Amino acid sequence: MDKPSVKNIVILGGGTAGWMTANLLNQKWQHLGVKITVVESPDIGIIGVGEGSTPLLKVFFDSLGISESEWMPECNATYKNGITFNNWSTVNGYEGYFHPFPTSLDFATFGFLYKYSALRRKGLDILAHPNRFSLMANLTEKRLAPLPAESFPFHFQYGYHFDSVLIGKFLREKAKGLGVEHIEATVENVEQGENGDIKFLMLNTGQNLSADFFVDCSGFASILLQKTLNVPFQSFAENLFNDSAIAIPTEIEPNIPSETISTALSYGWVWKIPLTNRFGNGYVYSSKYCAPDEAEKELRAHLGLLDSDIEARHLKMKVGRSEETWRNNCVAIGLSQGFIEPLEATALQFVYSTIDEFAKAFEEGGFTNQHREEFNTRMNLNFEGIRDYIVLHYKTNSRNDTQYWIDNRENQNLSNNLKEMIECWYAIEDIEATLTRLNIGQYYSQRSWTCLLAGMGIFPRQENLDSADAENAKAAQSDLDYVDNFITGCSLNFQAHEKMLVKG
């Protein structure tokens, strides 16, 4: 953007999404004289989109030049190797599995998982549980941090756990220190021009705040994109049933774990996220199947807090996406753009990728329809690609304790891409080739799809298996010995998670 047509950008809403946007756009365009203002209402609470991330949050902080030693203690943050899923499956030996973030050493072990999961699907009685083939799963079991010794020069992607309110405050102070203007006010009305563009925001302070471009970070309210510009909302309720959540904190334990744990309950699942000062716990459930008081009681029982007076926080979720992310002179980022339930902790991933993609599109084409339409298409595909992978968790469950789980398993409202991926698994076809053909491998890789499907035990029943012939059995044992030795040796280059944390 050599000579920007945009000189003033107003971001409506603070929180993590608003202040991530302010920091990134300020870094990209401040040198061009672009002024950025954040309007944040002191009367509207921050929802907090969760306390876990994917590796893209590290990319975000690295791009701003903010070190872990600076931001992590301020936000009670810990490292995250991946997510453990417990009790989603009732298949013997597959009641839980770990979904790891990628490493540059995966090539040495995951090829064996692909090989033996294919043989297992063909009906041979061979071990194919993904945890056995994952270095990250091994580190997590030992509660080690994903930070290798300097003498072990391999790349490990990892995420974080953090206090979402504190990270918003941290980013706010960072942005203000770099020249971003912060106005505490509530929007009372939005004025549009004849062409539909937003002209200015009428604030409760009496100020009319104009800008060349507006960013909607107003949360589920989507004040600018959906309410003012009338962009329709496309619900994902037909294939993602959960619409509610309850959060309760508990005391942290010694030797802090380096994983998020997702445990299936009667009408949804519970997250358990370690911070340096507490565990964040929350029950994500469907209000169609379970009343809030019943869900709270089940969560308290799960946490051993039936007799506790610790307050529970009830939240409603609006799961789906806007049909467009960018319309006229407004782009939505965060919950105002859309939301997929927090099962794979993708909320801040969407925030970062949307800001980054928008900046590229705007720099290349400004207000041209072509760039706006291409950007909107990419954002919609991004939502749908991630949604499909999350839907697969529910589709492949084997629980029969409630109608909720049965209905999820029997749900036929699946995208064509997801149907093809499921068919690919059962037909023992090449997953990588199928992901490439469908052009969806950028959302989740062969490793992720295999970990989920193999981890849930989506194989022929044990009683229908054939014993591996002597040649296959011998090869499998040799390969497993190699994998075990390789992973054990690699794990010696990592230290305890607790030791690697710098606490505030």
User: Which pLDDT score is estimated for 50?
Assistant: 53
pLDDT digits (tens, 9 = 90+) for 237-291: 999 999 999 999 999 998 999 999 999 999 999 999 999 999 999 999 999 999 9
More confident residue, 369 or 270: 270
The average pLDDT across 32-39 equals 96
Q: How much is the average pLDDT of 229-242? A: 98
As a dihedral over the C-alpha atoms of residue 499, residue 109, residue 104, residue 152, rounded to 10 degrees, the angle is: 50
Amino acid at 123: G
382: Cβ contacts below 8 Å, ≥ 6 apart? 350, 353, 443
Which amino acid is it at 23? Answer: N
pLDDT digits (tens, 9 = 90+) for 387-409: 999 999 999 999 999 999 999 99
Q: Which pLDDT score is estimated for 3?
A: 43
Take residue 274 and report the two structure tokens written for it: 């370690």
| Burial tier of 14 (Cβ tally within 10 Å: 0-12, 13-18, 19+) | buried
pLDDT of 48 > 90? The answer is no
- Catalytic residue IDs: 80
Give the chain's mean pLDDT: 94
Q: Each residue of 323-344: pLDDT tens digit?
A: 999 999 999 999 999 999 999 9
Per the CB < 8 A criterion, the answer to whether 258 and 146 are in contact is yes
Local structure of residue 31 (DSSP, 8 states):
G
pTM: 0.95
Q: How confident is the model at residue 98, as a pLDDT?
A: 99
pLDDT at 47 (0 to 100)? 60
The tokens of 328 are what?
A: 């006229």
- Given pLDDT bands bounded at 50, 70 and 90, which one contains residue 354? very high
Q: What is the DSSP string of 290-327?
A: S-HHHHHHHHHHHHT-TT--PPPEEEE---EEES-SEE
Which percentage of the chain shows pLDDT scores above 90?
88
Q: Does residue 385 carry a pLDDT above 70?
A: yes
Name the percent of the chain lying above pLDDT 70. Answer: 97
Mean pLDDT of the region 413-422? 98
Tell me how far apart the terminal alpha carbons of the chain are, to the nearest angstrom: 39
pLDDT tens-digit map of 445-475: 999 999 999 999 999 887 777 787 778 888 8
pLDDT in tens, 488-502: 999 999 999 999 997
- pLDDT single digits (tens) 88-144: 999 999 999 999 999 999 999 999 999 999 999 998 888 999 999 999 999 999 999
**49: confidence class by pLDDT, cuts 50, 70, 90:** very low
Condensed to tens digits (0 to 9), the pLDDT of residues 419-442 reads 999 999 999 999 999 999 999 999
Give me the half-sphere count of Cα atoms (radius 13 Å) on the Cβ side of residue 271: 28
C-alpha 180, offset from chain centre: 27
| Stronger pLDDT, 460 or 297, i.e. the higher one | 297
Question: What phi, psi does 192 have (nearest 5°)?
Answer: -115, 155
How confident is the model over 347-372, as a mean pLDDT?
89
